[in-house]
Structure 1
Amino acid sequence: MVKRQVFFSFHFSNDSTRAGQIRNMGVVDNSSTFSDNDWEEVREKTDDKIKRWIDNQLNNRSCLVLLIGEETANRKWINYEINKAIELNKGIVGIYIHNLKNLKGQQSNKGNNPFEYVTVKGEKSSKFITTFDSKYKISTNVYNDIKSNIPGLIENAILNKPSTW
């Protein structure tokens, strides 16, 4: 299977450690993401500069992978990234990451589905976008489950996106 270039979206302050685990799995293209230092630099810019950065990142990717933690849903930049990916007709998939441990060895509570908060033509985008939630509860098992499923989830999101959002 081809390694796809994807844009990882996540709630930085809560889930950067968990997102780092996903990004470092090596199952998507190495250019598919940004370093934490890049994001720190972007967060300190104006809204217009952040939008341009997100737009440029998404333009060069085939899929938005939304890593869903406890407080991901209905955040300003998460909603913007979902809407922009829809506008650009990108594949979109959500992956729950709450059961991965952070640096302190803690798991978190499952968050709401972010696609419930973004509408497409009057319908919740959750109607069109798949989310993956590992059936496992132990962090190492969750990690392995995500690692084995993420290539197929990305491919499915790209190949089965609505022809017109």
Structure 2
Amino acid sequence: MRRTFFSFHYQPDVTRAYVVRNSWVVKPAEQQPNGFFDASVFEASRKESEDALKRFLREGVENTSVTCVLAGSKTSERRWVRYEIARSVIKGNGILTVYIHGIKNMDGYTASKGEDPLASMGVYKANDGIYLAERIGGEWKKYADYTLAIPTGVLWFPAPTSNTVVKLSDHCLAYDYAGQDGHKNIGGWIETAANIAGR
């Protein structure tokens, strides 16, 4: 059983995220709540300070081996989803995207398909190491919330060889929960991501 962190845009997609979580049926003793934070805890951490929220999210990712990014309409733009992705790269987690726009929310509505969040995050080589990058306004910029070099040993895919940004989506698989029978297949998708990363 993989300890999996689920990253998603809370306000519009929490109902959809819970559909995914509830479909991942395993023995109660093996169920891991990672990534499904109580909204009040998340908001309290965010109000305390940015450092407190970052610590909270780092701890959420810490004991996991796979990060499943649940992509709704605007997920790719969310700062803290990007931070969770960044911490997952630094930790060496297997990573995958699961589009959830086709799942109905509490009001019975689906949403428009958004961009793959892993296409807005990447890595590049500088003279002094490998760094994270993010796409803002159509341009790649050095990732602002983690500015240190990444040890090449944590990357489970080939390290970039130039300053051209390599998108994470180039190395990570993406699935459509509604269109690809996610209720039955989510466990296999997660296992595949773990295997690709050697976890």
Looking at structure 1, the residues matched to 195 and 24 of structure 2 have their Cα atoms a distance apart, in angstroms, of: 21
| Aligned residue among 141, 148, 166 for 1:123 | 166
Looking at structure 2, the residues matched to 88 and 18 of structure 1 have their Cα atoms a distance apart, in angstroms, of: 26
Residue 132 to residue 82, structure 1, CA distance change in 2 (3 Å)? same
| Aligned residue among 68, 72, 76 for 2:71 | 68
Native 8 Å contact 2:119 2:169 kept in 1: yes
Looking at structure 2, the residues matched to 20 and 127 of structure 1 have their Cα atoms a distance apart, in angstroms, of: 27
Residue number in structure 2 paired with 1:46: 49
With normalisation by structure 2, the TM-score equals 0.71
Q: Does 1:21 align with 2:30?
A: no
Looking at structure 2, the residues matched to 135 and 37 of structure 1 have their Cα atoms a distance apart, in angstroms, of: 29
**SS of the residue 2:33 aligns to:** helix
Consecutive unaligned residues in structure 2, runs of 5 or more: 125-164
Deviation at 1:93, TM superposition (A): 0.8
Deviation at 1:135, TM superposition (A): 6.4
Consecutive unaligned residues in structure 1, runs of 5 or more: 137-141
Residue 17 to residue 31, structure 1, CA distance change in 2 (3 Å)? closer
Native 8 Å contact 2:103 2:178 kept in 1: no
Deviation at 1:119, TM superposition (A): 0.9
With normalisation by structure 1, the TM-score equals 0.84
Deviations 1:113-147 (A, max 9, x none): 111110123201110111101463xxxxx7xx112
Deviation at 1:90, TM superposition (A): 0.5
Of Structure 1 and Structure 2, the greater strand share is in 2
Residue number in structure 2 paired with 1:139: none
Residue number in structure 1 paired with 2:109: 106
Q: Does 1:35 align with 2:38?
A: yes
Q: Does 1:161 align with 2:164?
A: no
Deviations 1:51-108 (A, max 9, x none): 1011111111111111000010132111111111001000111100001000110000
Residue number in structure 2 paired with 1:11: 9
Q: Which has the larger radius of gyration?
A: 2
Q: Percentage identity across aligned positions?
A: 34
